[in-house]
Amino acid sequence: MTSFAGKLLEWYSTHARDMPWRVPPHAHARGKRAAPYHVWLSEVMLQQTQVATVRDYYLKFIRKWPSIEDLAKSDEDDVLKAWAGLGYYSRARNLKKCANVVTAEHNGEFPRTADSLKKLPGIGDYTAASIAAIAFDQPVAVIDGNVERVMARHERIDELFPAAKSIVRGLLATLLDPEKPGEFAQAMMDLGATICTPKRPACGICPLNAECKSAFQVDVETFPRKKPKTEKPERKGAAYVIENQAGEIFLCKRGSTGLLAGMTQVPTTNWNSRSDGKTDSLAAPVSAKWRRMPDIRHTFTHFHLDLVVWHARSEQAPAMDGWWCPIDRLSDEALPTVMRKVLASALA
């Protein structure tokens, strides 16, 4: 074992973060391993989402679908509803597709190597490496943003990310502990998340500070080096919340392709980048006494969206497929975060 891995794993044995999908180091030492289903589910959820948010979603999924076969038998709409609020809804659809493939073609067992895992729907390099290392002890490098940061600082990598990822991969291949690749991967993630943080890393208590080339340096926060971000474009539109006398809201489903495909929403205009797009009450799907509510802003991966929110009381359903949903049942619907913001504004 390298001195890097030794120090890291020793630190991890007493500082591992407690997460419901993990096997703690003392249980790992007794031979216990995390279930591939649990690693897969948590890693898919953790992409771009905070651990604190994922915890509740993960527990909800595991309670509802305790095994991958249960998830394969589920209805895609139910998966989207359980996923609502996590964003990136194509991941939820891929989750369901992947469960179907693993159940139908692999007898309910995930393949053990990163290369074969990558052939499954929705599993990219990172998730494949995580499952292979954590669930199956395969000696592969697992590189997320935390790991990039630790390695970029430790070695003072001047090349820009994401291109520099291949340098990190090469370094990790020589540093990781082939006996405990899963523990090593999780230890790196934990070190990046709790000690070698983006701002003000705690070099004083870092187990790697003796050899780290950036330890205690004033420019430590400039690693990892990245290309300056380009500004996101802005789009605008309007959302129309129709409430009937029974205290129900009119909802409809988005199309089956494109952004937020298949998710639930209130009627909206197109979301376009033109500043002369219609966002007033004249563009509403029914004629009623519309009241303008506070606008909302939501940021997607590729653009910011400003929505003018309108609310009206009406018994008339718009001329489109849809349904009335009682206000106290809205949380059961597959409403993406942007729609939850719209409803919060309209019903405040």
**C-beta closer to ligand SF4: residue 152 or 249:** 152
For residues 49 and 30, what is the distance between their CA atoms, to the nearest angstrom?
31
For residues 314 and 330, what is the distance between their CA atoms, to the nearest angstrom?
18
Give the per-residue contact string, 280-319, with ligand SF4 (x = CB under 6 A; - = no). Answer: ----------------------------------------
Number of chain positions touching ligand SF4 (CB under 6 A): 15
Helices 145-155, 181-194: crossing angle, 10 deg rounding:
80
For the bound state, the minimum distance from the C-beta of residue 174 to ligand SF4, rounded and expressed in Å, comes to 17
Provide φ and ψ at 176, rounded to 5°. -70, 155
For residues 285 and 172, what is the distance between their CA atoms, to the nearest angstrom?
56
Q: Which residues pair with 311 in a beta bridge?
A: 241, 291
List Cβ neighbours of 34 (8 Å cut-off, separation of 6 or more).
21, 22, 23, 134, 135, 182
Stretch that binds ligand SF4, among 68-76, 88-96, 164-172, 197-205 (CB under 6 A): 197-205
**C-beta closer to ligand SF4: residue 29 or 202:** 202
- The yes or no reply on residue 209 touching ligand SF4 (CB under 6 A) is yes
Stretch that binds ligand SF4, among 30-38, 101-109, 135-143, 207-215 (CB under 6 A): 207-215
For the bound state, the minimum distance from the C-beta of residue 211 to ligand SF4, rounded and expressed in Å, comes to 9
Of positions 22, 154, 298, 311, contacts ligand SF4 by CB under 6 A = 154
Of positions 206, 238, 260, 263, contacts ligand SF4 by CB under 6 A = 206
3 state DSSP class of 237: strand
Binding to ligand SF4 in span 215-254, by CB under 6 A = 215, 220
Report the DSSP pairing between strands 323-326 and 248-253: antiparallel
Closest Cα partner for 336 from 239, 232, 231, 236? 239
**C-beta closer to ligand SF4: residue 63 or 200:** 200
**105 part of the active site:** no
Q: How far is CA 327 from CA 287, 321, 348, in A?
A: 22, 19, 12
Of positions 9, 54, 147, 208, contacts ligand SF4 by CB under 6 A = 208
For residues 342 and 330, what is the distance between their CA atoms, to the nearest angstrom?
12
Q: Which residues pair with 252 in a beta bridge?
A: 265
Closest Cα partner for 69 from 30, 96, 34? 96
- The yes or no reply on residue 7 touching ligand SF4 (CB under 6 A) is no
- The yes or no reply on residue 203 touching ligand SF4 (CB under 6 A) is yes
- Beta carbons of 338 and 345 less than 8 angstroms apart: no
Stretch that binds ligand SF4, among 36-44, 206-214, 273-281, 330-338 (CB under 6 A): 206-214
- The yes or no reply on residue 153 touching ligand SF4 (CB under 6 A) is yes
For residues 178 and 325, what is the distance between their CA atoms, to the nearest angstrom?
54
- The yes or no reply on residue 201 touching ligand SF4 (CB under 6 A) is yes
- The yes or no reply on residue 196 touching ligand SF4 (CB under 6 A) is yes
Note the residues at the interface with ligand SF4 (CB under 6 A). Answer: 150, 153-154, 195-196, 201-203, 206, 208-209, 212, 214-215, 220
- Catalytic residue set: 43
